[in-house]
A = this chain, B = another copy of it.
Amino acid sequence: MGITTKDLAQLCGVSRTTVHRALSGVGRINPDTKELILRTAKEHDYRPDLLARGLVKGRTYNIGIVVLDVENRYFAEMLGVIGAEMNRRGYCMNIMLHGDDRELEQKQLMRLAAYHVDGLIVSSVNEGEEYREFLTGLGVPVVSVDNRIADGIPFVGIDQRAAMREVTGRVLERGYERVVYVCPPLAAKGIRNVSVHEERLVGFYEACGACPQIQTVCLNDWSYLEHVKEQLADGKRTAFLCTADSFALESMKRLRTDGLEASRDYGITGFDNIDTLEYVSPRLMTVSNSVGAVATAAVGLLFELMGSGNTDGRSVILPHEIVTGETI
């Protein structure tokens, strides 16, 4: 489209190499010719072709990000933080969405690698040894968040199990007669990587072990909304433990149509602490997934890997936090 170094060379009556020296500031060059070249470059609005540069340098200063979607508050917040970090470091981010599709995720990663992104951050729905080999075969440093993929793949997140154990404990000590564990993503267990949710489930059971007298129910498919109301039919004091704030919000909305209000008629907790909660009352009790800290750490780890070329499977586990609300 625009003007090239070749054109500039011709315009200034010098070689392309000299033009390059002027523009890049590398090597010795006569200040006057440099002046001239820079001036004509500006005049003609010269802009380097980043594809060509990337091709020869082997670096693009682009980072690839692959996540489920962007309408999800959790990812939106994460992308915001990652984006800010990238801007700060002079990198761009290449965001792609996999929409819970395992093969699509893989294709997106391949494509990004083929575009020579310098690093990848992925919230994966794949897992296992084979996938680990695929990832290392990409030849690009990868950091995973949310779901663990396999040993050897760097990971950043919180201790999901402990977090769920703690929040469950807080609920149990309130004397509920029944707790309903709401986790529709578990429906995909064995089909997609849902390790985050499996870990939380373990934490839940660990906490429940201490209170065998309390009845537990598990709603783990996407029709959960049709079953929340019936949990309250017999008048037992019931709490819903939702593994995402969105499930909690949806449940509260649904129950409200039947005149049932959180805290008064039932207990409920969420997970993630998405910012939507600020506007909803009663304030939902939840667990902070520390999304900002996770994003920052993921970027930090990625740049470390990119710098060292060391693709060892180091992981970072960040602290979580129980957010006391009004719904328990």
Mark A residues whose CB is within 8 Å of B: 1-2, 45, 47-52, 54-55, 60, 62, 69-71, 73, 76-77, 79-80, 83-84, 87, 92-97, 99, 104, 108, 110-111, 113-116, 137, 139-140, 249, 252-253, 256, 275-276, 278-281
Contacts and interface: CB of A to CB of B under 8 A. Distances in A.
A92 B111 contact: yes
Nearest to A253: B279
B116 A51 contact: yes
B93 A87 contact: no
Contacts of A275: 71
A150 B287 CA distance: 46
Contact of A69 (B80, B99, B113): B80
B76 A2 contact: no
Given A45-B137, A275-B71, A115 B51 contact: yes
A108 B86 CA distance: 12
Contacts of A279: 249, 252-253, 276, 279-280
3 pairs of A and B residues whose beta carbons are closest in the complex: A1-B139, A50-B114, A71-B80
B71 A70 contact: no
A79 B87 contact: no
30 contacts: A2-B139, A47-B114, A48-B114, A50-B111, A50-B114, A50-B115, A50-B116, A51-B60, A51-B115, A52-B55, A69-B83, A70-B79, A70-B83, A83-B95, A83-B96, A83-B97, A84-B97, A87-B97, A87-B104, A92-B94, A92-B96, A94-B94, A94-B95, A249-B279, A253-B279, A256-B281, A276-B276, A276-B279, A279-B279, A279-B280
Contacts of A87: 97, 99, 104
Contacts of A45: 137
Contacts of A69: 80, 83
